[in-house]
Amino acid sequence: MNPRPDRLLAGLLLAMILAGCAPTLDLAIERVPSRALPATADTPIKAGLAAQLPAATSGFHLLADGDAALAARLALANRAQRTLDVQYYLFHHDDSGKWVAAALLDAAARGVRVRVLIDDIDTADKELGLATLNAHPNIEVRLFNPFHTRSVNPLVKGWQALTESVRLNRRMHNKAFIADNQIGITGGRNIGNEYFDANPDHVFVDLDLLAAGPIVDAMSRSFDAYWNSEAATPAAALPVRVSRDRLARATARLRGFSAARAASAYGRRVLAADPLPALLAGDRRWIQAPADLIVDPPDKALNPDMPPSELLIGQLAGLWIDPTRRALIVSPYFVPGPMGMAYFRYWRHTGVDISVLTNAYSASDVPLVHAGYANYREALLEAGVELFELKPVADPIGGRLRDLSRGSSRASLHAKTFVFDDRHVFIGTFNFDPRSAVLNTEMGIVVHSAELARQVTAIAQDAMQPERSYALELETQTVDLQRGRRLLWRDRHQGSARTQTVEPDTSPMQRGLLRVLRALPIEQHL
């Protein structure tokens, strides 16, 4: 008898037993609804904005630098007087996460109402920290689409994912940080060191948008919809209890950490990058432009049969901003699928120039998704789409993208943005892949601004330089009277042009794994 089925059955039985012994959420916990406070409320933030932005006008500032992106979040937490609404897919318990958590606790101590909504995909080992935040009378934490059985054991989580695959495969990927319903941040960054250039081994090249004016009220309405949805469970349901003494000790530790962090050379650099003082004083100009918030409804996580017109992709189509001249797409996880290919072929047929920037295989943090993209490379190039793949390590040429002298050894693209016709700019959480389109909930802002389009395009073009990215080409060759095609990766390395015919910076084993992954019939889950 083959022992493998027996071992598999034993593993499943063990998972069932462990799940049965693990603590569970109290699903009967009361969900008290709450709403964002009116954007008309007088606050210091509002007073500062009133001097810089005309009434009923939205303003924007690009956060391309990790230091500025972290500093802006800390500044919003420190300036808030009435409310802070924080919504993230991931909130790590690392140095950046602790610095932000300390700022939230300080705001709560000033009387600010703090609401924190976190997707439950990565909270199993963070329950005590979340429960500690939730123990503050001015802070409430909720978990989106939670695992009902609570365990860090991968067998238990795997068993739940298997038995509730339709629900638990759908995650809240939204990201928002909103102060006093006056200024908000959205974009690609979660809360964690790698998103703020604070990880010495690996950083994400990312992009956020600082927003003010009426568009923030739309962000707050979206937050409320998620906060009050059936999928959001109060952290009080967790099988963890936190005493006042523990809250006091944790608060003191985080305040001490925050003070030390701010006084360090790194902390001083971050705080110096804060763009808010200059924006509120008029020393730096907001980009004033009309904009639209597009966001998946929270029910997308619970209802797999929602009509596409109600989803983010349908809302985007409803804006009628299809490109007529140029399309720039920046997506770390890029799997166009048949529908995306149909759009690209149509755009190329109508004369639209299309450029796509994504990760090289060696730079991707999710090889499975890269395999899905790799299956479309030849078809994309045949259609006339320009493909660029970001290197994990680039030549130190300076420029807008990142400063390699800070010591990061490897980088991955994480920004999610596109520019149509040098005027319409999307910045948000949406990856150009089936998971973002169909499974996860996503959000983003479409800004109708030639100025912002120039800024985003300049950053992307800097990333596409041959020192930083590979430009892909499709070569036709004849071998033994058989015509075939092969991919070429062209770049510049240490001042010299070079061409490679296999996935750059990979081993034979990695390339073999990629071939296996490309054969798996799982594109709809990528």
Instruction: State the CB neighbour count (10 A cutoff) for residue 70.
Output: 27
Catalytic residue among 136, 414, 424, 491: 414
Pairing of strands 287-288, 291-295: unpaired
Q: How buried is residue 59: exposed, middle or buried, by Cβ count under 10 Å (0-12/13-18/19+)?
A: buried
Rounded CA separation 301/149 (Å)? 18
Q: Is 51 exposed, middle or buried (0-12, 13-18, 19+ CB in 10 A)?
A: exposed
Which contacts (CB < 8 Å, 24+ apart) does range 517-521 have?
Answer: 517/367, 517/368, 517/371, 518/371, 518/372, 518/374, 518/375, 520/368, 520/371
Give me the DSSP letters along 336-403.
Answer: -HHHHHHHHHHHHHTT-EEEEEEE-TTT-S-HHHHHHHHTTHHHHHHHT-EEEEE-SS-----SSS--
CA-CA distances (angstroms) from residue 428 to 187, 334, 437, 476?
4, 15, 13, 38
The single-letter DSSP state of residue 2 is -
Say which residues have a Cβ less than 8 Å from residue 401's Cβ, sequence separation at least 6: 205, 394, 459, 462, 463, 468
Question: Of 273, 276, 96, which is closest to residue 184 (Cα–Cα)?
Answer: 276
Query: Catalytic one among 157, 175, 300, 391?
Result: 175
Place of tokens 């240490």: 494
Give the strand order in the sheet containing 287-288: 232-234, 139-144, 113-119, 83-88, 176-179, 183-187, 208-212, 59-63, 287-288
* Active-site residue, from 61, 126, 136, 173: 173
Instruction: Establish whether 299 is a catalytic residue.
Output: no
Q: Is 126 a catalytic residue?
A: no
Stated length of the chain:
526
Q: Which amino acid does the sequence have at 409? A: S
Active site residue 46: no
Contact in structure between 86 and 93 (CB atoms under 8 Å): no
Compute the distance between CA of residue 197 and CA of residue 506 in angstroms, rounded to an integer.
25
* Catalytic-labelled residue, pool 98, 136, 300, 416: 416
> Residue 280's closest CA among 24, 63, 47?
47
Active site residue 424: no
The answer to whether residue 92 is catalytic is no
C-alpha span between 525 and 268 (Å, rounded): 42
Q: Which is the catalytic residue, given 353, 395, 421, 422?
A: 421
Structure token digits, residue 148: 């009902």
Task: Give dist(CA 371, CA 389) in Å, integer.
Answer: 14
Please tell me which residue in 85, 119, 180, 208 is annotated as part of the active site. Answer: 180
Catalytic site includes residue 395 = no
Long-range contacts of 489-492 (CB under 8 A, 24+ apart): 489/360, 489/389, 490/466, 491/391, 491/466, 491/467, 492/395, 492/466, 492/467
Helix (H, G, I), strand (E, B) or coil at 29: coil
> What's the gap between Cα 8 and its chain centre?
35
Active site positions, annotated: 173, 175, 180, 414, 416, 421
